[in-house]
Structure 1
Amino acid sequence: MTRKLFGTDGVRGRANTYPMTAEMALRLGAAAGRFFRRDGGSAHRVVIGKDTRLSGYMLENALTAGLTSTGMNVLLLGPVPTPAVGFLTRSMRADLGVMISASHNPHQDNGIKFFGPDGFKLSDEAEAEIEALLEGEIQLAQAANIGRARRIEDGRGRYQEFVKTTFPAGLRLDGLKVVIDCANGAAYRAAPEVLWELGATVVPVGVSPNGTNINDRCGSTHTQTAAEAVVAHGADVGICLDGDADRVMILDEAGRVADGDQIMAMMASRWAMDGKLRGGALVATVMSNLGLERFLTGQGIGLERTAVGDRYVVERMRAGGFNLGGEQSGHIVMTDYATTGDGLIAGLQFLAEMARTGHKASALVRQFDTVPQMLKNVRFAAGKTPLEQASVQAVIAANTARIAGKGRILIRKSGTEPLIRVMAECEDEGMLVQVVDEIVGAVEAVV
């Protein structure tokens, strides 16, 4: 059974345009409710969180209508990070968790992500079954069995208290000045409060959401704003989250950026030394830099690669018994603590290492030298299949042969946007530029 509506991270698109319409959200809610009520019975419940996008109000109400129409009781959390939904789904004994967010995308986009009762994102198979229900007549509840909805006022507080328990007992952040950039998104209150309660001097950035400024020149995809704040305030470190706070980038005291690969390298090395790294390996995607792989090999640590998407990282971690994984983009998954990427918890782990060692951020963020890497995106129109064109395939084949033994090429269609992503790594930077530009040119010629 294949999926058409769901991408690598739920259903996503432009708000008020298919599939992110109120009508589709209502039907999707009803289909998900029916999927989780297959066994009948009563007292089924779902928790719904959202980020700060204006369209979140519309989708929240539509999902609530669809879910209650199938007999699901809805608990509304309001603006909370994506990992909070995973945590609270399990903590509140819910059958289903829903996060309304398009993560790092601009405010015009939105998305819907589902979590199972164990707090983990749904499998491809479960999403395919929900799609199949969408295509038919969805069985609604009898009038007396329609679900109820209520707002949960302390959901964010419950998550914050849990997050603090992941910080090592006996350590505090006294004396550390931390810039925290919340991308005007879901963590705009939770992240600064947690840091302050642990003793940090907090410089908040991106904490004034207005419905349309999420990820706008701030957050993990635009670190310049936080970098300027780090330098201006003489901060020790910067933490940049994305719109739903499941990604993180770390800035050192000079405002230099460390991506997910560098953060994972530091954590894997430290956990291995402490005997905490289960399976003796880190799980990362095919996008992670070759430099990370070489660093881990030198440390006697394995690297398990997966397809792009934190859900696939988590699936491999669960199947192989690993407890650390993530993506270069900043998803850091620590299954000892969370069921999905959690930018705030990952940031706290980095701060704990600073507090434990007394080292500056700059001494921790550069764990290895990266192999030169280039990534370019090509946008294409709906219905186009540029990677299937013979002219594109010929250019890809020629450049793959050209770079063999010196690097690698990875070309894929994005699972969240209409983009072809062309990535290559090569020690020879001149060749790297030529290879990427030739492939991008071939793709652009057909789109």
Structure 2
Amino acid sequence: MSENIFRAYDIRAVFNEKIDVENVVRIGLAFGTYLGGQGLVFTGRDIRTSSRIVENAVSSGICSTGCDVTSLGLLPIPLLNFYCWKNKPKAGLMVTASHNPPEFTGLRFRHSDGTGFSKENEEIKKIYFKGNFVKSPWNKLGEFMTINTQVVISEYFRYVLERISLERKLSVILDPGNGTASIVAPQLFRKAGCKIFTINSQIDGTFPGRDSYPREETLGDLQKITRDSGADMGIAYDGDADRAVFVDNKGRIVRPEVAGVLFVRDALSKKKGKIVVNVSSSLIVQEQVEALGEEVVYERVGDVFMTEAIKKHDAVFGIEPSGHFYSNLFYPFDDGIQTSLLLAEIISNQNKSLSELVDEIPQYPMIEEAIECPDEKKFRVVKRVKEKLEKRGYKLNLMDGVRVDHKEGWTLIRPSNTQPLIRVTVEAKTESKFKEFKDEMHKLLKEEMEKS
């Protein structure tokens, strides 16, 4: 198995090509060895065709080291995180490739509070390749158990609905994208008093309705139905429901940072504190937060880094432009389902539509693009672009990728942590500067990619 499937905060690869059952059992052995061969691990899985096989295989490896495993079954990752946070096992593990195409599988390690591993992944990787596994005697093997998934869902509903209450009934269109949000989000919104209509809500690990990555080019049906039906909002989830994308009543995709501003205003009205955003976030978040007298903390892209920063600063909220939202008044990890119901509450408490609330927030020209680049080349390409930018005298922020801050805006290039892509983000306060910054970055990337 190639080392590059161990990514910054998880493991992802095409099943039975770059990773197979033998590898997965070995990953379970490495994880159980990292845990010292003792303690309880909660596991869960997404709907992908390989996920049950992978969960069983990794659980076998973990139990072989002496750790116990309790499977929570098929459910969104925020519910595994929630059940870890509430019950404090030694660790958790989710079998999911999140928004990746259906042929991928993935494994994500969790702390006892439901947040993800970062530097610990390197330790597990080292154990995996060294092969010095803890192996328990035949009569001291870990026990494999299961729990009724509905118990987990019911506890989650109770917790969320005790903290979110809608003042008026909303009409909501839900698009779970055939993923695990299908078994949770419609029930939750109905229990909260919403009138809902669903599309792509039959769970199916081949994702026949649309790509499991919710973005403008895959959400045309949701936009049209939301607009034409007169619904208050539309919501799309990715494959494991840790991210959400919102559509307003006019059928427009709401930029995540704009939705984030609505969340931040609500959170800061309840508790003062810092706001964490990643380095690819729009200027509007910082401007809006500072106008409310609070501070923005910038962090690397990825839930593991965001949650570490949220806990470190006791921040009240976190925002990622990919659609991850962290409401630390509930718990420190991201949850697309809980935050989407929270947005419904925010709308229900206003005498304005979502489109009116969105239009009140100033926005600048901005784009995020994903440029295909093989995993073995993407870091080298970004490094060479960085060197060219340094020669041009730019002041660079290297927290995560290469960010150039200009007086009138900024650009960022960073190798994706989860896919063979280089992500390019550009924002400027005027259209002319936006085009200038974008053209410069495109030219540099093209030159270096042709050399590789």
**TM-score scaled by length of structure 2:** 0.89
Residue 350 in structure 1 maps to residue 343 in structure 2: yes
1:397 CA displacement: 5.0
Residue 67 in structure 1 maps to residue 66 in structure 2: no
For 2:360 and 2:212, locate their aligned partners in 1 and report how far apart those are by CA, in whole Å. 25
For 2:158 and 2:252, locate their aligned partners in 1 and report how far apart those are by CA, in whole Å. 27
For 1:329 and 1:351, locate their aligned partners in 2 and report how far apart those are by CA, in whole Å. 20
Matched residue SS, 1:208? coil
Aligned to 1:113: 108
The residue type equivalent to 2:278 in the other structure is T
1:287 CA displacement: 0.4
Asked if structure 2 preserves the Cα contact closer than 8 Å seen for 1:310 and 1:326, the reply is: no
1:271 CA displacement: 2.3
Q: Of the candidates 422, 426, 432, which is equivalent to residue 424 of structure 2? A: 422
1:10 CA displacement: 0.8
Matched residue SS, 1:378? strand
The residue type equivalent to 1:271 in the other structure is A
Instruction: Report 1:23-62 matches (<5 A).
Output: 23-37=22-36, 40=38, 44-62=39-57
Q: How large is the RMSD of aligned CA atoms in angstroms?
A: 2.5
Deviations 1:282-326 (A, max 9, x none): 100000011222222222222111111121111111111112112
Instruction: Report 1:33-432 matches (<5 A).
Output: 33-37=32-36, 40=38, 44-124=39-119, 126-134=120-128, 135-153=130-148, 155-167=149-161, 171-172=165-166, 175-213=169-207, 216-217=210-211, 220-221=214-215, 222-274=218-270, 276-277=271-272, 279=273, 281-366=274-359, 368-384=361-377, 385-387=379-381, 390=384, 393-394=387-388, 398=392, 400=394, 404-426=406-428, 427=430, 428-432=433-437
The residue type equivalent to 1:55 in the other structure is S
Matched residue SS, 2:16? coil
Residue 445 in structure 1 maps to residue 450 in structure 2: yes
1:400 CA displacement: 4.8
Asked if structure 2 preserves the Cα contact closer than 8 Å seen for 1:378 and 1:419, the reply is: yes
For 2:171 and 2:63, locate their aligned partners in 1 and report how far apart those are by CA, in whole Å. 46
1:339 CA displacement: 3.5
1:416 CA displacement: 0.7
The residue type equivalent to 2:318 in the other structure is G
Which moves more between the two structures, 126-135 or 167-176?
167-176
Count residues with an aligned counterpart.
Answer: 435
For 1:240 and 1:61, locate their aligned partners in 2 and report how far apart those are by CA, in whole Å. 29
Aligned to 2:20: 21
1:26 to 1:365, Cα distance in 2 relative to 1, 3 A:
farther
Matched residue SS, 1:166? helix
For 1:93 and 1:285, locate their aligned partners in 2 and report how far apart those are by CA, in whole Å. 28
1:15 to 1:138, Cα distance in 2 relative to 1, 3 A:
same
Deviations 1:84-106 (A, max 9, x none): 11111233442221111111111
The residue type equivalent to 1:345 in the other structure is Q
For 2:405 and 2:324, locate their aligned partners in 1 and report how far apart those are by CA, in whole Å. 29
Deviations 1:325-349 (A, max 9, x none): 1201111011221342100111111
Matched residue SS, 1:66? helix
1:386 to 1:108, Cα distance in 2 relative to 1, 3 A:
same
Asked if structure 2 preserves the Cα contact closer than 8 Å seen for 1:293 and 1:303, the reply is: yes
1:353 to 1:337, Cα distance in 2 relative to 1, 3 A:
same
Matched residue SS, 1:375? strand
1:356 to 1:157, Cα distance in 2 relative to 1, 3 A:
farther
1:299 to 1:129, Cα distance in 2 relative to 1, 3 A:
same
Asked if structure 1 preserves the Cα contact closer than 8 Å seen for 2:233 and 2:247, the reply is: yes
The residue type equivalent to 2:256 in the other structure is G
The residue type equivalent to 1:202 in the other structure is I
Give the unaligned 5+ runs of structure 1: none
1:273 to 1:172, Cα distance in 2 relative to 1, 3 A:
closer
Q: Of the candidates 439, 445, 450, which is equivalent to residue 434 of structure 1? A: 439
Asked if structure 2 preserves the Cα contact closer than 8 Å seen for 1:87 and 1:339, the reply is: no
Residue 8 in structure 1 maps to residue 2 in structure 2: no
Which moves more between the two structures, 389-398 or 109-118?
389-398
The residue type equivalent to 1:143 in the other structure is W
For 1:173 and 1:223, locate their aligned partners in 2 and report how far apart those are by CA, in whole Å. 28
1:156 to 1:248, Cα distance in 2 relative to 1, 3 A:
farther
| % same residue | 24
The residue type equivalent to 1:37 in the other structure is G
1:150 to 1:131, Cα distance in 2 relative to 1, 3 A:
same
1:398 CA displacement: 4.1
For 1:363 and 1:343, locate their aligned partners in 2 and report how far apart those are by CA, in whole Å. 22
